[in-house]
Amino acid sequence: MWESESETYSGVRDRSFLPEGDADKQDGLKPDGFIRREQSWHVSSDIPSDLVIKVGELTFNLHKYPLLSRSGKMNRMIYETSRELDPNVVVELNDLPGGFEAFELAAKFCYGIAVDLTAANIAGLRCAAEYLEMTEDLEEGNLIFKTEAFLSYVVLSSWRDSIVVLKSCEGLSPWAENLQIVRRCSESIAWKACANPRGIRWAYSGRPSRTNSPKWSAAGGGDPRDSPVPADWWFEDVSILRIDHFVRVVTAIKVKGMRHELIGAAIMQYAAKWLPGLVKDNNNISGSDDYSSIAAGGGGLHMIVAAGTGPASAGVREAEWTGSAAREQRMVIESLISIIPAQRDSVTCGFLLRLLRQASLLKVAPALVTELEKRVGMQLEQASLADLMIPAYYSKSETMFDVDLVQRLVEHFLVQEQTAEGESPPAGKHGTNAKMRVARLIDSYLTEVSRDRNLSLTKFQVLAEALPDSARSCDDGLYRAVDSYLKAHPTLTEHERKRLCRVMDCQKLSIDACMHAAQNERLPLRIVVQVLFSEQVKISNAIANSTLKEAAAAAAASVATDGHPYQPIISTRKQLIEGTPQSFQEGWATAKKDINTLKFELETMKTKYAELQNEMDGLQRQFDKMSATTALAAKTGKHGSTAAPSGWTSGWKRLSRLTKMGGMEGQEQMTAGGVAEVAAVRKGTRRWRNSIS
């Protein structure tokens, strides 16, 4: 039987609770019930009470005999107090599980008063019976036996009652754990959540309901197809559980083989309920955006079995968190991270990033944060820019956003992609598309964080170059990020600006980006020249391709009409340029003018260099000739000749005269400004050569 309505189990009144032969002794009490007076409970009886028991803040005025006949613990305690001389000794039971409510029910049971067992009180009463040692050794059919029977045959067969009992166990640790109440309820819930929905009869209207719950359909019942069962029917009920009990339920559901995307959706709904920072998911989780493919129908089957409200519903803000609230939030996040299914796409990337944001804020264990970062890296291409803008809460970085975290996410993404490509080579196309989506995301992220003046050039460059070149077919996004960084950091040196611009490829810029870059005063001159050259090549290729296509089309048309091949008329250069847009003509004219100027200066430099080289060759020949003459004169002088000094002197005079002539010519050239012009041309030539290399 799988019923939603809580069944009650009433104990038989009076004599049936007493052992045979002791009922006559109990007749003198004739209890009619318990009466509460302020903070004290009294038994309605003609016999005055002889035992005072204090549980918490309440006091119970009872009789010794009904308790010692059914409770082993009370038997020992009453015996110990009876040995004391003071008859007014109060027995304190402050550590009784279930508190005074459970003790009141246990005391009524001892007096033979009918007790109604419900899902709300059964867990506390079962723990109290164990604490009071109300076993079968004292009386057959004692409280432990009756509560165990109710748990096994009533609670565990009901979905709603299992949820209520598990919820009531939150204040009964460790008794509920030791008595296996938590384990049994968790497995019961997991079994029902994984059961075949065709065996469940639904009363589902699409509206939240506190009474509707799944019912086991008897054989021969209505056709289950008449009321389709949504796959998320159990999400709302399990989301009211405390985090440790929710983890137990989800773990049991995993063992039974439920689909990982359903488990992930349940985790997202639980997080949206209990984590204030993830309240953004409320609209998406309850709708069909995040898991419409797994929900068999719109909406969800709302089965609120307890009025549980989480911190999110209470409107708790991050700034108002106390120390205990922060610890609770940290425990929730750490527990959720540990139970997220390992399969890809079990939860959305946006949910993982928001969970990572909360984990960074609350300083979750580093090992779990690393695990969460790896999970984000598995599906980083699904992320949005808003979710990626994670503030640097407590990192050592002075930047506004955690750029180092995004760098690690990209690294995890690349590792996952390489692993996937190695395992399944046919998935290369999917990997390329994923890299391209991540590249666009990172370009947008760089554009946003580049406005931060504390962002170092090294961090910007490392993140921009993290992805391979094949991930970007167009570098317009990188150009926008570079331009934004230059605008926010006007004090960069020329070397730093050149280093920054190396992250982009000028040949991958679109026409619009090239036109903007050609007029961008923040870019280095070398980059501007490269952009102009790249634009010129693109325009030339485009014009050539267009001309060839027109010629081919005309030839095909001519052959089709009269059978004679069409001879295309080659357009002049002027006609080709006039056929291009005005903006392209202006850019081309500027580039052409700069190129002609550099060519003229280069030719002038070559001419002057050739003249200087000829003069140098002439001086070298004269010097060689004079050296030979000097050597001959020295040889003659060694044999006694007296003509050596005059020959040596005449040779050096001749060299001096040639040197002066060369100096006068050089002075004339310096006077005319030739040397300065040569230096300027040489400098300009080196700049042009480097720009096109």
Most confident of 16-20, 120-124, 553-557: 120-124
User: Band of the pLDDT at 562, cuts 50, 70, 90?
Assistant: low
Q: What is the pLDDT of residue 533?
A: 79
Q: What is the pLDDT of residue 119?
A: 94
What is the Cα–Cα distance from 681 to 687, expressed in whole angstroms? Answer: 10
Q: Are 523 and 517 in contact (CB under 8 A)?
A: yes
Q: Which two tokens stand for residue 196?
A: 């075949």
> Which whole number is the average pLDDT over 600-606?
83
Q: How far apart, in whole angstroms, are the C-alpha atoms of residue 363 and residue 366?
A: 8
- Segment among 149-153, 302-306, 594-598 with least mean pLDDT: 302-306
Distances (CA, A) of 670 to 211, 615, 667, 676: 105, 16, 5, 8
Q: 200 near 214, Cβ under 8 Å? A: yes
Distances (CA, A) of 175 to 70, 131, 294: 20, 9, 38
Spatial CB neighbours of 69, under 8 Å, sequence gap ≥ 6: 18, 19, 22, 110, 138, 139
Provide the pairing of β-strand 200-201 with 215-216.
antiparallel
Give residue-wise pLDDT tens across range 217-253.
333 344 444 556 788 889 999 999 999 999 999 999 9
pLDDT of residue 558: 57
For residue 77, the surrounding DSSP H or E stretch is helix 72-82
Q: What local confidence, expressed as pLDDT, does residue 536 receive?
A: 73
Average pLDDT (328-337) is 93
Strand partners, 61: 42, 52
Predicted confidence band of residue 554 (pLDDT cuts 50, 70, 90): low
Q: Give the predicted TM-score (pTM) of the model.
A: 0.67
**According to the model, what pLDDT value does residue 482 have?**
93
Amino acid at 372: L
- Residue 586 has a pLDDT of 65
Across residues 633-639, what is the average pLDDT? Answer: 65
What's residue 86's pLDDT? Answer: 57
- Higher-pLDDT residue of 111, 588: 111
Across the range 589-618, mean pLDDT stands at 81
Q: What is the mean pLDDT of residues 500-520?
A: 87
Confidence of residue 420 (pLDDT cuts 50, 70, 90): confident
Highest mean pLDDT among 383-387, 421-425, 620-624, 670-674: 383-387
pLDDT, one tens digit per residue, over 334-373 is: 999 999 999 989 999 999 999 999 998 888 999 999 999 9
- Nearest-CA neighbor of 124 among 164, 76, 183? 164
Strand pairing partners for 59?
40, 54
Per-residue pLDDT, averaged over 263-287, amounts to 73
Q: Residue 595: CB partners within 8 Å, gap ≥ 6?
A: none
Whether the pLDDT of residue 455 is over 50: the answer is yes
Q: What digits encode the pLDDT tens for the residues 397-415?
A: 788 999 999 999 999 999 9
- 41 beta partners: 36, 60
Return the higher-pLDDT residue of 527 and 116: 116
- Location of structure tokens 């002794």: 25
Mean pLDDT of 565-591: 55
pLDDT above 90: residue 384: yes
Q: pLDDT at position 278, please?
A: 75
Checking if the pLDDT of 663 tops 50, the result is no
Judge contact between 515 and 488, C-beta under 8 A: no
Q: Is the pLDDT of residue 301 over 80?
A: no
Q: What pLDDT is stored for residue 215 in this prediction? A: 44
